[in-house]
Chain A
Amino acid sequence: MNSDWDLAVVGAGVAGLTAARVAAEAGLRVVAYDRMTPGGQLVNLTTLHDVPEPGEVTSSAGLLGRLVAEAEAAGVTMSFAEVTRVRAGAAPRLETSEGEVGARAVVVATGLTAGRLGLPGEELLVGRGISTCAGCDGPLFRGRAVAVVGDDDWTAEEALELAEVATAVTVLVPGQPRWSGERVGRLAASARVEVLTGATVTALRGEGVLSGVVVATAGSERELAVDGLFPYVGRRGPGALVDGLPTDEAGRLRTEGGVRTAVPTVFVAGDARSAATGSVPSAGADGEAAGAAAVAMLRPAGGPGLRIVDPTFGVQPADSAAEAQAGGTADWSEVALFSNSKPNATELLRGVGERLQEHWELPELGFASKPNASAAADKDVIDWLSQRYKMVLVAVGD
């Protein structure tokens, strides 16, 4: 059976972008799928700690820009579709939200799902008090009390970031903390942070909006009044995405050493891999290894091989002209603002929008916003805005 691609990479975070770049540089035809936008976790983080080396910090946006640019330059094709199933085997097939494709090899780099406690009513409170992005949603809790659930280095960093705005940050550690000694010191030095070990959240309080949690510690249970809850536990790997591959208890794919799985054509890189350490440098190293392993598997004879250049590279897909026509019948008096809901974003947009309103003598301005900063824009809202308005002024950043 013919394959559409030499390598299909599922997930374009640090691991996926790196694997895709390495394979494309070796001359393979590579597609990288992402159901959202490239970057994965990096999109939610402002500052990366311990990157590139322990004790150092790096700008997340800068690193992401570089990873995407390098993958692009190497000839990786980015596809913004969700992969719903990988049928592993000698000639893998991928089911995606945009149809089925074949690839000679697959790298699974889907990362993990967002943290969850697994409690009744939890999903309804996401974006209404529950968040997993301190950088995005932290400012919403200025002057209020929040709780953070987790035990790793990144939980500690998120708690410290929240302590810059919240009045009180209670860190609920299910067992014992795994964070570094240096972070123990920084948490202890913050007057706003309290760490409770052996603490389990047993219930959520709040009608429509979170107002508190019930916390059980050895032998006792108590109510904790908080407006914000940031869970970094219960994150799940891609589980059943790939047919027939064994997973661990967190749904991460088990390997046979390194990034190789029991199926020779399927590799796994980054947080999705069982036993991954869960950091940007280790996701990058996994991506390098998975890209190189895919190249070695597809090019066993060695040598640089022929580089196949995609003749359509850089050409707009055929449907983009049709999409561009779909802008509705709005005229230039129809202008709207679309806020990302970060602090002051709406005020900035309204201020700039009013200037445009005066300048063009517009009767009114439309308005839409994301429910919270860490959520992706709702497809229906995008549909509505693009049908109803000629121009939409969008806020990005913080």
Chain B
Amino acid sequence: MELEKRGAVAPLLVTSTFLPLVEAQAKARRVTPRIVVVPHPVGGLNEAELAERIEAAAGALLPLADEARGSA
């Protein structure tokens, strides 16, 4: 969030259990972060499971990134 405040576009890949925390911190800092939610947990996943998470996260990130670049 500090990065966004300093002008960098900073999408956050947030695991689902941390979403309430990130939302609360964003509210407290008065920023609206760009968030991609990834099912928790990520640590301890095997390669195939991690590849699934990457696929799903990339699916959400690419349009978000295109939009940020397009509106800049």
Contact = CB atoms under 8 A, between A and B. Distances in A.
B42 A398 contact: yes
B48 interface: no
A252 to B, nearest CB: 26
A56 to B, nearest CB: 18
Interface in B7-23: 7-23
Contacts of A139: 43-44
A383 B10 CA distance: 13
Interface string A330-365: 101000001000111101110110011001100000
Contact of A396 (B15, B41, B57, B58): B15
Given A385-B8, A394-B11, A398-B18, A343 B24 contact: no
A398 B54 contact: no
Contact of A377 (B2, B69, B72): B2
A65 B24 contact: yes
Q: Which of B7, B36, B62, B69 is the most central at the interface, judged by chain A CB atoms within 10 Å of its CB? A: B7
Contacts of B43: 139, 342-345, 398
Q: Which of A59, A356, A385, A394 is the most central at the interface, judged by chain B CB atoms within 10 Å of its CB? A: A394
A332 to B, nearest CB: 5
Contacts of A394: 3, 10-13
Interface string A44-70: 001000000000000101101111110
A314 B21 CA distance: 20
A397 interface: yes
Band of interface residues on A: 35 or more
A189 interface: no
Interface in A356-398: 356, 359-360, 377, 382-383, 385-386, 389-398
A398 B13 contact: no
Given A72-B28, A386-B8, A351 B50 contact: yes
A325 B7 contact: yes
Contact of A348 (B9, B17, B53): B53
Interface in A305-331: 314, 316, 320, 323-328, 330
A40 interface: no
A16 interface: no
Interface of B is mostly: helix
Given A59-B17, A320-B5, A386-B3, A343 B44 contact: yes
A378 B28 CA distance: 20
Nearest to A356: B65
B62 A392 contact: no
Nearest to B43: A343
Interface of A: 12, 37-39, 43, 46, 59, 61-62, 64-69, 71-72, 78, 80, 139, 314, 316, 320, 323-328, 330, 332, 338, 342-345, 347-349, 351-352, 355-356, 359-360, 377, 382-383, 385-386, 389-398
User: Which 10 pairs show the lowest CB-CB distances between chains A and B?
Assistant: A327-B7, A397-B15, A65-B20, A351-B54, A343-B43, A397-B18, A68-B24, A386-B6, A355-B58, A61-B21
20 contacts: A64-B21, A64-B24, A67-B24, A68-B24, A324-B6, A327-B8, A328-B7, A328-B8, A347-B50, A348-B13, A348-B54, A351-B50, A351-B53, A352-B54, A359-B65, A389-B8, A392-B9, A394-B10, A396-B15, A397-B13
